[in-house]
């Protein structure tokens, strides 16, 4: 999947949300553009490749891998398309 600029309709995020680029201190990962909200959400956007879109259309499941390095993991949810993050 390709990382996409996650700009969303400002009416769908709480006031005070801001754009942020996430990366580890060692810069070993690709920059991850995001929108961070005051209520603790970090919104990222991903675009499936044409091959991935076809695989999904053919019934393939979507897997989400979290790298926690043995620590706890935060709750997450995956959506298709934008949602109203002000009420979530």
Of the listed ranges 21-30, 63-72, 73-82, the least confidently predicted one is 21-30
| Digit-coded pLDDT (tens) for 31-53 | 888 899 998 889 988 889 999 99
For residue 64, what pLDDT is reported?
84
Beta strands (DSSP E) in the chain are 2-4, 18-22, 32-36, 42-43, 45-47
User: What's the sign of the alpha-carbon dihedral 32, 6, 79, 76?
Assistant: positive
Contact 18, 35 (CB under 8 A): yes
Predicted TM-score (pTM) of this structure: 0.75
Q: Which residues contact 24 (CB under 8 A, 6 or more apart)?
A: none
- Read off the tokens for 60: 């393939």
For residue 66, what pLDDT is reported?
80
Tell me, what DSSP letter sits at residue 54? H
Phi-psi region of 70 (alpha: psi -120 to 50; beta: other; left: phi over 0): left
Please state the domain extents for the chain: 1-88
């Amino acid at each position: 999947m390709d990382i996409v600029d996650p700009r969303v309709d400002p009416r769908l995020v709480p006031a005070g949300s801001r754009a942020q680029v996430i990366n580890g201190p060692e810069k070993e990962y690709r920059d991850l553009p995001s929108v961070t909200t005051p209520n603790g959400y970090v919104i990222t956007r991903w675009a499936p490749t044409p091959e991935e879109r076809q695989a999904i259309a053919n019934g393939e499941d979507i897997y989400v891998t979290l790298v926690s390095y043995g620590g706890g993991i935060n709750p997450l949810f995956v959506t298709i398309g934008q949602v109203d993050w002000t009420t979530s």
